[in-house]
Every structure is written in structure tokens, then in C-alpha cells.
Amino acid sequence: MRILVVTQYFWPESFRVNDLALGLKERGHAVAVLTGLPNYPTGRFFPGYGFFTPSSEEFNGLPVYRVPLIPRGSGQRWRLALNYFSFAIFASLLAPVRCRGVFDLIFVFEPSPITVGIPAIMLKKFKRAPVMFWVQDLWPESLSATRAIRSELLLHWVAQLVRFIYQRCDRILVQSEGFIPSVTALGADPQRVAYFPNWAEALYRPVATAEDAPERKEVPAGFCVMFAGNIGAAQSFETILEAATLLRQHHDIHWVVVGDGHRRAWVEGQILERGLKESVHLLGPRPAEVMPRYFALADALLVTLKCDPIFALTIPSKVQSYLACAKPILAALNGEGARVVRESGAGLVCPAEDAKALAESVLRLSCMSPQERAAMGQKGRTYFEANFEREKLLDRLEGLMLEMIKRQV
């Protein structure tokens, strides 16, 4: 198959679509990528990238076509809007020129924003290729839940844009079964919607961190609760900080955050204000390839979300990475993500935004023996291999793609 992947985010930004594109290439398909200039999560262009350069490059043999965009900056609403729409506009205008040749299929990766679908719909007409759209984040629901947009009129306009995109996609994949009612309510044909979950890259597996590894110097001794990923509004860091405050007198319990995001400065301020400097540690972002070594040093891996119906529908992609690394999971969330952790037996679950329950779960897990925690982690790994293993899911994706292409012929 000749596949064009359309995504606002791509290497050197760390997103699962990088591995998806490589996985399809490994299977003999001709894959090209249309994307923007890397600026996530810092909001600044990565070194070596500027507004107009480079327009094309290679990533492990994959041709990558880049279009200009306005960087997201410090994450203000107006700046994010410019970031989203600038990519959509430039990609729509430049993609027909830069993405030359014939494609059998256009694959869209949509963690947010939904506007990534606009250039794909435009290219569908030029390339006469069907569009497969992988929904990672529900719009407009997530905008309302995070208060990114408060105007009912604006939310209505976004809903109409979502409807426009969904109705023009030939196949829609959703990362959580809970997404299906929302997607079909906004115009997607139920016959064209399929559940297709995230996986974790092969690098996510149980590893042993060497005694002289630099990561050991960054992770404090004691019981380590580690959070990896975005420091944003959806992750409810208020809950984490309040739980850490409740456990402040337990000097052996440490909260380690490996990641970055637009709320990091606020979190840093709260750490000082609450006197949590000795127990909450912000390490900043790290490359995906070293994360399993950090996870190996943790006693528990933490996933949190806000208490909102929209977030109860999603499975945070870090859950698959955590399961793959065979570590106990502490989950302060509701719905689908909580179901996966409970069903797998991989850890302890408490309600979203319940700081007291999270603190109690941390204490409970810290009182377990290392053998009990290891057994939890192994249950998670077994569940991962049965439900989220990379090669199994790539097999399924290939089948869905071939089926869609044959339908077009």
C-alpha cells in the first residue's frame, strides 16, 4: 500500500504516530508523512527548524513533508488556536504540491486538534484516496471539559466542523469504545466506525536499570510514585499535589514527574507554596527510549484525569506504556481507563479528583511487599500482551486498510 500519514505532530516530537508510520514501513508499505514544524511541548521550534525550513527530510527512511505553522508558545488559548489553524491552512495549501505521487490511502492521526482533518479532506479530492481517521481526542467535548472554550456559540461551531470532517471520512477508528456514541452523534456512519486502541512501542518492556545508570541519580530513594507525560489541565495536577500534601509527613514517599506541559510553572509554584520541595520532583521531559529505565526505578506508575464525563470515555495512552513495563499502576480516574486497570489486576483505582483516596491508595501500595507489587505488574504485562500488543494491532490495522482500499476500487 502507498500510505500518506497526516499528523500535526511527528518526530522529533514524541507521539505514537512515529511508531505507527515505522511499523507500516517495516511491513513493506510505502509510507510518507505530512506534518508541521516540531514545537511540542515547549511551544518553540526545535533546534534546526524555522518557519520555512526544512520543507522535507527523512526519518528512518520515511519521507517527511513539513509545512509552516505558528508555534504554540506558552499555551494561551489564542496562541493554540493560531497553532491549530495555521497548520490546517498551510497543509491544505501546500500538501498538493509537496506530497506528489499517488496514494492508496490517507491516514489521519488526531490526538488534538480536530483541524488536522481539514488538509486530509482537501487531499482526498486531489489524490482520490480514501481517508482513515484515528480519533484520540473527542472534540468539542474535550474543549468544554478543560475550559479551553467557554462560549456555547464557539463550541457549536467546533461541533459543526467536527461533523463536516467525520461525514467525509471513509473510515473512523476510535481509541476507546466509549468514543463511539459521541462520534456517531456527530455524523459518523456507525458502519464505518471501529474500535482500534493504542499500543505501546516495543521499547516499553520490563528492563533492569544498571547500577551506574544516570537515571538513578535523578530518582530519590524511598517509595517512588512516578507520573510520565503531559502536565496539562486534563491531568488534574491539583489532585496529585493535594495527595502529596496529605502524605507530606511520610518522608519516604516521593512523587516524581517526568514530563512537561503548559501547567508546569503553576505546579512549580504550588510545590513551593505547599512546602513539597522534598517530596515532589519535576525532572522535565525525557526521550521515549529512556522511559523504561525510569519506570524500572519506580514503585508505582501514576495516571490521573479530571472528573468529567468526557475523560471517563478515554484510555490515556500512558496506560498501555505502563502495562507494558510490568509495574503497578495507581489510577485516579473514571470510566474506560479505570476499567482497564481493574480488569487487568495491574494496580489500584480510585475516583478522579479524589485526593484523599489517591493518598490512601499510595499508602496501601507502599505497605505491600515487593513480591505483591511485582505480581500486580506481571498481571498488567499479561493483559497488555493480550489486548495492546503492537504486532497484533498492526495486523488488524493492515486488514482495515486493505478492506477500505478494496471497497474504493
What is the structure's pLDDT at 151?
85
CA distance 63 to 30: 9
Is the Cβ–Cβ distance between 40 and 46 less than 8 Å?
no
Chain mean position to CA 368? 30
CA-to-CA distance for 66 and 377, rounded, in angstroms? Answer: 40
Cell numbers at 260, concatenated: 512537561
Q: How many residues does the chain have?
A: 409
Are β-strands 30-36 and 105-110 bridged in parallel, bridged antiparallel, or unpaired? unpaired
H or E stretch including 172? strand 171-174
Non-local (6+) Cβ contacts of 115 within 8 A are 84, 85, 87, 88, 161
Domain 2-199+389-408: which topology?
Rossmann fold (3.40.50)
C-alpha cell at 178: 466509549
How far is Cα 333 from Cα 197, in angstroms, rounded to an integer? Answer: 18
- Say if CB 291 and CB 258 are below 8 A apart: yes
Give pLDDT, residue 115.
Answer: 97
- All three cell numbers of 351, joined, read 475516583
Closest CA to 309 of 114, 113, 146, 184: 146
Distance CA 330, CA 9 (A): 28
Q: Give 110's strand partners.
A: 135
Reply yes or no: is the peptide bond before residue 47 cis, omega within 30 of 0: no
Spatial separation of the C-alpha atoms in residues 103 and 63, rounded to whole Å: 13
Distance set, CA 269 to CA 43, 183, 206, 254 (Å): 20, 38, 34, 18
Cα separation of the two ends of the chain: 13
**Lookup: cell for 77:** 488559548
Distance CA 323, CA 328 (A): 8
Residue 24 grid coordinates: 507500516
> Parallel, antiparallel, or unpaired: how do β-strands 329-332 and 347-350 relate?
parallel
Instruction: Identify the pLDDT of residue 409.
Output: 60
pLDDT computed for residue 84 by the predictor? 96
Indicate the pTM of the whole model: 0.88
Written as nine digits, the cell of 391 is: 504486532
In words, the CATH class of domain 215-387 is alpha beta
Residue indicated by cell numbers 485526593? 355
Per-residue pLDDT of the chain (409 residues; tens, 9 = 90+): 999 999 999 999 989 999 999 999 999 999 999 999 999 988 999 999 998 788 899 999 999 999 999 999 987 889 999 999 999 999 999 999 899 889 999 999 999 899 999 999 999 988 999 999 999 999 998 888 888 888 899 989 999 999 999 999 999 999 999 999 999 999 999 999 999 999 999 999 999 888 888 999 999 999 999 999 999 989 999 999 999 999 999 999 999 999 998 899 999 999 999 999 999 999 999 999 999 999 999 999 999 999 999 899 999 999 999 999 999 999 999 999 999 999 999 999 999 999 999 999 999 999 999 999 999 999 999 999 999 999 999 999 999 999 998 887 6
17's CB contacts (< 8 A; 6+ apart) are: 5, 7, 9, 10, 109
DSSP state of 51: S
Cβ proximity of 170 and 193 under 8 Å:
no
Evaluated on CA atoms 308, 313, 319, 323, the torsion sign reads: positive
Handedness of CA 29, 204, 266, 240 (dihedral sign): positive
2-199+389-408 and 215-387 in the same fold: yes
Domain ranges of the chain: 2-199+389-408, 215-387
CB 383 within 8 A of CB 360: no
pLDDT for residue 256: 98
* Half-sphere exposure (Cβ direction) of 220: Cα atoms closer than 13 Å: 19
CA angle centred on 231, ends 227 and 233, rounded to 5°: 125
